[in-house]
Every structure is written in C-alpha cells, then in structure tokens.
C-alpha cells in the first residue's frame, strides 16, 4: 500500500515517522505546495496530512486513493462530501493532545496575568539589581482562586481545563455552543451569562457554522473590564479585529491566543498592531504540540491506517 505524507513538518522533525513507514511504501514530503498535491498523491492509496486542503481539485485524479488520515482532530480542510461520493474514507484523531492543550491553556494564562515576561526582563536587564529593594511589584497580578471560569466548548479538553481550574480554586461553569444535552458536573449557562459573569474565559470549541465569529464585539462588550480571554480552540471562533480593539481600549483586561483565522498570521493583522502588547500573549498554534502529543499523533495515525488495512473501523469521520 502506497502512503503519501504531505506535510511532515507540521509534526516536527524530532518525531519519527517509523510507525507509519512500517505499514507500506511511504513517500514523505516535508511540505507540499497546494498546487503540487494532485501530483504528489496521484498513485497513493493513503494520504496523510495535517493542514493541507483536500478538495475535488486535489483528489479527482487520485484514482487509487482509498483513505485520508489527518494528523489532527479537525477535518474542515477536507471535502468530506466529495470523499463520500468517491468512497474515500476519512479518519481523524481523538484525544491525543488533551493534556498538552490543557497545560498550554494555563501557560498562556499565567504568562498573561502574572506578567512573567515583564518580571523576567526586569531581573535579567539588571534593573532589579539596581533597584535597591527586595520586591518589585511594577505590574499587579491576581489569583485564580475564587474567580469564575467560563468554558466555551465542554469536550474532553474543556473538561480537563475545568478540573484543573477547580484545583486552583476557581468556580467553573460553561456554555454549550452545539446545544447538545449532556450530563456534566458543572453548571451550564447561556453564552451571554458566561460573558457577563466570567473572570476568565477559555475557548475549546471546534470551528463550524455555529461557532465561526461567535466571539465578537458584542460579546466583549458584555465581559467584565477585569476579565481575560484565552483561545486555544480555533482562530475563526473569535473576530480578531474585535479582540484587538477590546484589549487596546481596555474593554477587557487582556487576552491570549494560540490560534488564528489565517495561519500563519499576516504581518498587518490587527493583533500585531495593538498599542498595549503587554496585555496580549500570542503563540504560534503550539498548544497541541507537546513531544508526547506529537508522538501519539503519529502512533494513532498509524493505527488508523493499520485498522483500515485490516478492514476495521477506527476514528472514521464518515
């Protein structure tokens, strides 16, 4: 079975592809230009990708293609309707990065509310040594204990964050964007109430027609001026121009984001132009990418392929 990996660079070159390579003839590209995908997969039976867009234009000449595997949970970059017509199976990953994203959520929060970068620079720059005082409290920070933490998207990652937030003494509640009725130990509230009452809001929802541009100017205007927003879900869930305005004008205290509507960010993106950068922490879509999570990513993808070869269902999108 011929397996083509289109964007190995998205997993990191420190992670071995051996679990996949054992399964067949492998052609692994560090990266593939969008215009080169059709040629790269024309004789493949399995295509593996993370971020590449796979639509009819890319897939129509791949007559042998039987399976698309994603190095990811999200699959909005694949035209699943076309794949159904062609009989091409699509498989994704589940729960491989829960711990990593949960941990990064708190890393972003601590960096933001405790001004870690500022205080680190204060010491390393020599200003602390010159200050003549044992303490420097140039920027205030607050405790998580006793705060209300609102979660948008109570899936596996949302639940992990909720448990960790409670361990720090926060009171957790959540809003369900999907509208699904599920038994949770935390109180479910409306999105409007979550905006109004939360001290900390973290976003863990997928991107779909219900969540695109969900967090916009009207949402920020309902938030407390002392509140912070953390987005580790999908970039397009938040209107970035509205977020930049909310931070810069002090409508909210601050924000942190690991995801963006367009990745990588354009150099003139509103988030890169705000005049209060100390109240905005940005990371380049790495929340999912701990070493352990990336190893699981490859291993789980290999298991998806092996199950397909054996005629078994596993993590089928359809």
Specify whether 104 is catalytic: no
Catalytic residue among 39, 192, 221, 263: 263
- CA dihedral of residues 172, 246, 272, 229 (deg, nearest 10): 0
**Rounded Cα–Cα distance for residues 173 and 194 (Å):** 8
Residue among 234, 279, 294, 296 flagged as catalytic: 234
Active site residue 204: no
Report the residue count for the chain. 318
Strands 187-188 and 89-91: unpaired
* DSSP line for 85-153: HHT-EEE---SSSHHHHHHHHHHHHHHHHTTHHHHHHHHHTTHHHHH-SS---SS----STT-EEEEE-
DSSP label at residue 207: P
Judge whether 89 counts as a catalytic residue.
Answer: no
- Please compute Rg for the chain using Cα positions: 22
CA distance 318 to 106: 34
Among residues 57, 188, 193, 285, which one is catalytic?
285
CA atoms within 13 A on the CB side of 72: 22
Active-site positions read 234, 263, 285
């Amino acid at each position: 079975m011929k397996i083509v990996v289109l964007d190995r660079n998205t997993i990191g070159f420190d992670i071995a592809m051996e679990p996949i390579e054992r399964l067949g003839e492998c052609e692994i590209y560090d990266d593939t230009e969008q215009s080169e995908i059709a040629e790269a997969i024309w004789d493949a039976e399995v295509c593996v990708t993370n971020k590449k867009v796979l639509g009819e234009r890319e897939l129509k000449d791949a007559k042998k293609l039987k399976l698309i595997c994603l190095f990811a949970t999200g699959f909005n970059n694949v035209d699943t309707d076309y794949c159904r017509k062609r009989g091409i199976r699509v498989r994704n990953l589940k729960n491989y990065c829960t711990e990593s994203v949960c941990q990064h959520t708190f890393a972003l929060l601590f960096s933001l509310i405790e001004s870690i970068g500022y205080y680190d620079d204060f010491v390393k720059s020599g200003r602390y040594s010159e200050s003549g005082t044992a303490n420097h409290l140039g920027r205030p920070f607050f405790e998580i204990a006793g705060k209300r933490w609102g979660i948008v998207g109570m899936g596996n990652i949302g639940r992990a964050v909720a448990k960790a937030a409670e361990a720090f003494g926060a009171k957790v509640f959540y809003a369900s964007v999907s509208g699904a009725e599920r038994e949770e130990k935390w109180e479910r509230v409306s999105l409007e109430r979550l905006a109004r009452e939360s001290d900390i809001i973290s976003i863990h929802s997928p991107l779909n027609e219900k969540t695109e541009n969900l967090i916009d100017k009207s949402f920020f205007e309902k938030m407390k001026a002392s509140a912070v927003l953390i987005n580790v879900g999908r970039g397009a869930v938040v209107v970035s121009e509205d977020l930049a305005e909310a931070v810069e004008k002090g409508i909210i205290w601050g924000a942190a984001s690991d995801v963006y509507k367009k990745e990588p960010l354009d150099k003139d993106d509103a988030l890169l132009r705000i005049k209060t950068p100390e109240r905005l922490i940005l990371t380049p879509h790495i929340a999912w990418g701990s070493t352990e999570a990336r190893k699981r990513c490859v291993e789980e993808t290999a298991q998806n392929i092996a199950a397909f070869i054996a005629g078994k269902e596993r993590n089928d999108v359809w």
